[in-house]
Amino acid sequence: MESSKAATANSNGEHCIIQRPSSESLSSNPSKINDHKMIITIPDGAEQLPFQIAGHCFGKSKHKWGILKHSQSGDILKPIFDKRSHREQLFYENIINDDDNDKDNGCLKILQKLVPHYNGLFHDDHMNIDYIRLEDITAHMINISLLDVKIGYITYDPEASEEKRRAEMSKYKYAKDLGFRILGMRYFDSTTNEFVDKNREYGLQITPDNASSAFLLFAQNDPNILQQFDNQLSEIEHWFTKHNIRRWKFLSSSILFACGEKTINTNINNDDGHNNNKRKTIVKMIDFAHVFPNDDQELDENYLFGLGKLRFHITDAIKICEQQQQQQQSK
162/296 same-domain check? yes
Query: In three state form, how does the secondary structure of the chain look?
Result: CCCCEEEEECCCCCEEEEECCCCCCCCCCCCCCCCCEEEEECCCCEECCCCCCCCCECCCCCCCCCEEEECCCCCEEEEECCHHHHHHHHHHHHHCCCCCCCCCCCHHHHHHCCCCCEEEEEEECCCCEEEEEECCCCCCEEEEEEEEEEECCCCCCCCCCHHHHHHHHHHCCCHHHHCEEEEEEEEEECCCCEEEEECHHHHHCCCCCCHHHHHHHHHCCCHHHHHHHHHHHHHHHHHHHHCCCCCEEECCEEEEEEEEEECCCCCCCCCCCEECCCEEEEEEEECCCCEEECCCCCCCHHHHHHHHHHHHHHHHHHHHHHHHHHHHHHC
Q: Is the pLDDT of residue 300 over 80?
A: yes
Nearest to 178 by CA among 215, 226, 223, 221: 215
Mean pLDDT, to the nearest integer, of 225-248?
A: 97
Residue 186, phi then psi, degrees to nearest 5: -135, 125
CB–CB of 285/236 below 8 Å? yes
Q: Is the pLDDT of residue 284 over 70?
A: yes
Higher-pLDDT residue of 127, 233 = 233
Q: Is the pLDDT of residue 241 over 60?
A: yes
What percentage of residues in the chain have a pLDDT greater than 70?
79
| 2/288 Cα distance (integer angstroms) | 36
145/115 same-domain check? no
Residue 175: CB atoms within 10 A of its CB come to 19
Residue 30's pLDDT is: 45
86/148 same-domain check? no
170/289 same-domain check? yes
Residue 278's pLDDT is: 80
Domain end position, chosen among 74, 100, 134: 134
Handedness of CA 17, 199, 138, 252 (dihedral sign): positive
Provide the Cα torsion 154, 52, 232, 316; round to 10°.
Answer: 70
121/173 same-domain check? no
71/177 same-domain check? no
Give the pTM: 0.85
214/73 same-domain check? no
Higher-pLDDT residue of 148, 37 = 148
148/130 same-domain check? no
Of the listed ranges 53-67, 204-218, 262-276, 316-330, the one predicted with least confidence = 262-276
Range(s) of the domain holding residue 278 = 141-330
Higher-pLDDT residue of 23, 154 = 154
236/103 same-domain check? no
Q: Convert the pLDDT of each residue in 41-83 to its tens digit.
A: 888 999 988 888 886 677 665 657 789 999 999 999 999 999 9
129/195 same-domain check? no
Q: Is the pLDDT of residue 226 over 90?
A: yes
The CATH code of the domain that includes 302 is 3.30.470.160
| 222/325 Cα distance (integer angstroms) | 10
Residue 9's pLDDT is: 41
Domain end position, chosen among 80, 103, 134: 134
Higher-pLDDT residue of 268, 113 = 113
80-to-142, 185, 204 alpha-carbon distances in Å: 30, 25, 29
Q: Convert the pLDDT of each residue in 73-95 to its tens digit.
A: 999 999 999 999 999 999 999 99
Domain end position, chosen among 134, 155, 172: 134
For the chain, what is the domain count? 2
Burial letters 200-210, b for 16+ CB under 10 A, else e: beebeebeeee
Amino acid, res. 236: I
CB–CB of 297/192 below 8 Å? no
271-to-97, 150, 268, 283, 301 alpha-carbon distances in Å: 20, 24, 9, 12, 28
CB–CB of 276/261 below 8 Å? no
Mean pLDDT, to the nearest integer, of 116-132?
A: 94
State the chain's mean pLDDT as an integer.
85
Q: Convert the pLDDT of each residue in 143-198 to its tens digit.
A: 999 999 999 999 999 999 999 999 999 999 999 999 999 999 999 998 999 999 99
Rg value, the chain, Cα? 21
Q: Is the pLDDT of residue 6 over 50?
A: no
Residue 268's pLDDT is: 46
277/248 same-domain check? yes
| 275/282 Cα distance (integer angstroms) | 9
| 84/304 Cα distance (integer angstroms) | 23
162/70 same-domain check? no
